[in-house]
Chains A and B, each alone.
Chain A
Amino acid sequence: MIARRTLDATAWTACAEVLGRGKGELMALFADQNRVHMIVRDPREQSLEHLCFECEGGRFPSVGRYHAPAIRLERAIRDLFGLEVDGLPDSRPWLDHHAWEVSAPLSGEQRAPVSCPDYAFLPVEGEGLHQISVGPVHAGIIEPGHFRFTANGETVVRLEQRLGYVHKGIEHLMQGTTLERASQLAGRVSGDSTVAYQFAYARAAEMALGISAPARALYLRALMAELERIANHLGDFGAICNDASFVLIQAHATMLREEVLQAADNCFGHRLMRDCIVPGGVASDLTKESIQTVRALLDNIVPRFRQLFAIYDSTASLLERMLTTGIVSNELVTRFAAGGHVGRASGRNFDARRDLAYAPYDKLSFEVPLLRAGDVDARLRIRISEIEASFSLIRQILDSLPSGKIKNDLPAAKESEGFAFIESFRGDVLVWLRIDGDGKVARCHPRDPSWFQWPLLEAAVEGNIVADFPLCNKSFNCSYSGHDL
């Protein structure tokens, strides 16, 4: 359990200023009824701190005023809880597109929707500039989001995102439900990271209940998490190359991914391993035959994967597209505490598996790749290295898989709180959970890594050509669903 402090307005603002000076990383900012929570990390001390602020009269001082990464989070809090943010530099709504039947759905009271003027995109002035508006519905089958480009010929001068089109009200649905039901909902926040979300949720629930999962379940969870990571990174590897019109790699990467998913289905009964992790343990055990399936999978795909990467590494026309495209500076990833490949490709040396070590990763050895170039190529190479690390992790897990039961019974509930960071393929997922006296979920906040990556995409595209945006976007592969909640 980490230290938790309740601050007054002066101390809260002082803390925001410290963040703004780059002395700490904002890991999460969310509301619960009338209270605002902030989780900050000190990268030098490697320590976390949990700060609270009790709103008086439904207002709290803005953190975003000093520390830009908080702005979208505060806009979302404003939309969902109806809390006013004093000094928020950008007062436009974020998740609320004024299409809901209520306003401030998490405020706990019925509020009629308010009408709102058209969303005002940031003004851009200059000679020869023109706007290109893309989305929210795209030509391919991808998630919806709106991108407003201001371009000078082919060069992007500014990109502004507008998200929130896939708001599903997940946090609202979770309120008042049983722990099991909320676990299922957590697995549906962002479908591609369903294992990571349920892993984080289960750990948060276990922390709140004061129990832990059996050793075997911990290892099985890690196995699922690594399989998910491999499958997603393989998918991205192919998709990025496909966006440079190099379909060959995508065709083969898709086949490799398919074999991983089939092995997952074979082992856990679901291709994406959804609902396989539950509070207290895991839902199904791994049989001896399944262990052989995973070993056979590795023997089969590892050499083919390396061959595929060799093709990438030796195709000049492909590398020419990737190198120096969409560069994100180290300063920005540090300021935004961007996790996953986005952060590690630009020199932010952070991996929740290592730096906020949780079981069983504290007993496994793995490399965390780090690059500094910050371009599309670097983000792709981070993924490649992570796939290799996951191969090795899976071998270690299978070699040291403890025996025993796979699930502990949940004790009678009491009022309590818990949270957990889990490294998904995108970066660190946070789930924060408060349980009420009846054992129901009083409030649960899943925070997707994309919150701190989407804004960097805007910066990455600046100065690139319009036609390279898909490549930059795919190299980030942020979640719309996880962000829109």
Chain B
Amino acid sequence: MALTALTIQFLQMLLVLALAPLLTGFVRMVKARLLRRKGPPLLQPYQDLLRLLGKHAVVAENASWLFRVAPYLIFGATWVAAALVPTFASGLIFSWSADLIGIIGLLATARFFLALAGMDVGTSFGGIGSSREMMIATLAEPAMLMIVFTLALIAGSTQLSVIAQVFAMDGVGLRVSLGLALVALILIALAENARIPVDNPATHLELTMVHEAMVLEYSGRHLAMIDLAAMLKLLLYVSLIGCVFVPWGIASPTSGPLGYILGLLLYPLKLVIGGVLLALFETSIAKMRVFRVPQFLGIALMLGFLGTLLLFVSRSF
């Protein structure tokens, strides 16, 4: 039993790593098609990563050790966090070591190092990016915690595996609090992944960047690590929304081989739907002014708060 669980866990870790660039490539492809462009090939992100890995990393003269170490820390923390989210099967054994709050902590760690690295070289863009990123973080993280409380109150646990299982098997039904949490989670996912309307992953305008401004000084394998971490984060959020709000088909430890195969088939389908929706949304809205971001995330925070409050009023909400 433990062996199976271990296999599933490792399979999942490799799966997220393998699929993350594909999801990014897929979103780019759908966006290009929506604009009637051909766009880069689906597998382009893999080629980009390979190209970057084969290149020398150019490091600024005044960069400290932190600048060199940060990309690996960021990648490591994000990968572990992504591996803790049930993708096609719940009952991950790592789950017992870190719950949903742990995942938020890991992502916050990655962000902390990214912001430090952005300021390390002392360029003005890195500083702008880091300060904007921290402004987003101070609002997104509490909102995320409120969502976790909402889910935990319903499922009776903060373990994602348990939450996914409860939601998939026991059928918690349609709940107002869950609806609020879903909207809040989507808003946070957009902000956390530097997507439109908060940030633009495809911009070349230095002055408007958030995420890209922090990593402007990176190149070569360092940049590959950071890019892959960003792709993993996108996959993490889509998987998270998938396993909590559309958990159907997710395999549990008790389901047989057929359950696992079904889970493996349904998971990519969920990613595809998530990717298409993201591309559609991003194409239909302009980026907001930086000082509107607090209001945007404030909505997420209020929704999360409301969800939790409602559950205190009655468990049936």
Contact = CB atoms under 8 A, between A and B. Distances in A.
A361 interface: no
B314 interface: no
Interface in B32-64: 34-37
A321 B284 contact: no
A469 interface: yes
Nearest to B200: A245
Contact of A469 (B124, B197, B200, B207): B207
B176 interface: no
A247 B283 contact: yes
B77 interface: no
17 contacts: A132-B124, A138-B206, A245-B196, A245-B203, A245-B286, A246-B285, A246-B287, A247-B202, A252-B36, A255-B36, A320-B288, A320-B289, A321-B286, A321-B287, A321-B289, A465-B289, A466-B207
Interface residues of A, number: 30
Nearest to A322: B286
B160 to A, nearest CB: 32
Contacts of B125: 132
Interface of B: 31, 34-37, 124-125, 127-128, 196-197, 200, 202-208, 283-292
Closest CB pairs A-B (n = 3):
A245-B287, A251-B35, A140-B204
Interface in A268-316: 315
Contact of B207 (A246, A255, A321, A467): A467
Among B197, B202, B205, max chain A CB count under 10 A is at B205
Among A134, A251, A467, A468, max chain B CB count under 10 A is at A467
Contact of A317 (B203, B204, B206, B286): B286
B286 A246 contact: yes
Among A133, A140, A247, A470, max chain B CB count under 10 A is at A247
A52 interface: no
Contacts of B202: 247
Interface of A: 130-134, 138-140, 154, 241, 243-248, 251-252, 255, 315, 317-318, 320-321, 465-470
A243 B35 contact: no
Contacts of A130: 124, 127
A252 to B, nearest CB: 8
Given A132-B128, A133-B124, A248 B207 contact: no
A139 B286 contact: no
Contacts of B197: 245, 317
Given A251-B37, A320-B286, 7 more contacts: A133-B124, A245-B196, A248-B34, A248-B284, A467-B207, A468-B289, A470-B207
B20 to A, nearest CB: 23
A244 B207 contact: no
Contacts of B283: 247-248
Given A139-B205, A467-B208, A244 B128 contact: no
Contacts of A131: 124
A258 B289 CA distance: 31
B57 to A, nearest CB: 19
A241 B292 CA distance: 18
A129 to B, nearest CB: 13
Nearest to B290: A467
Nearest to B201: A245
Nearest to B205: A470
Contacts of A154: 290-291
A151 to B, nearest CB: 9
A466 B286 CA distance: 17
B202 to A, nearest CB: 8
A247 B283 CA distance: 7
Given A139-B206, A248-B283, A321 B36 contact: no
A247 B292 CA distance: 20
A317 B205 contact: no
A475 to B, nearest CB: 14
A247 B289 CA distance: 16
A152 B175 CA distance: 45
A317 B285 contact: yes
A294 B198 CA distance: 42
B124 A317 contact: no
B124 A465 contact: no
B36 A251 contact: yes
A311 to B, nearest CB: 10
A200 to B, nearest CB: 33
A247 B35 contact: yes
Among B202, B286, B287, B288, max chain A CB count under 10 A is at B286
A318 B286 CA distance: 5
Contacts of A317: 197, 285-286, 288
A131 to B, nearest CB: 7
Contacts of A132: 124-125, 128, 207
B289 A466 contact: no
A383 B259 CA distance: 60
Contacts of A138: 204, 206
B207 A315 contact: no
B10 to A, nearest CB: 39
A243 B289 CA distance: 12
B137 to A, nearest CB: 16
A138 to B, nearest CB: 7
B205 A243 contact: yes
Nearest to B124: A132
A244 B291 contact: no
A465 B291 contact: yes
A201 to B, nearest CB: 34
A133 B125 CA distance: 9
Given A132-B128, A244-B287, A321-B287, A470 B35 contact: no
Nearest to A140: B204
Contacts of A252: 36
B141 to A, nearest CB: 21
A212 to B, nearest CB: 46
Nearest to A139: B204
Nearest to A245: B287
A315 B283 CA distance: 11
A468 B291 CA distance: 11
A424 to B, nearest CB: 26
A321 B37 contact: no
A477 B214 CA distance: 28
Contacts of B284: 248, 315
A315 B124 CA distance: 33
Contacts of A469: 207
B205 A321 contact: no
B207 A134 contact: yes
Contacts of A470: 205, 207-208
B17 to A, nearest CB: 29
A66 to B, nearest CB: 35
A235 B4 CA distance: 59
Contacts of B206: 134, 138-139
B288 A321 contact: yes
Among A138, A154, A252, A318, max chain B CB count under 10 A is at A154
A469 B34 CA distance: 28
B290 A465 contact: yes
A321 B208 CA distance: 13
A445 to B, nearest CB: 34
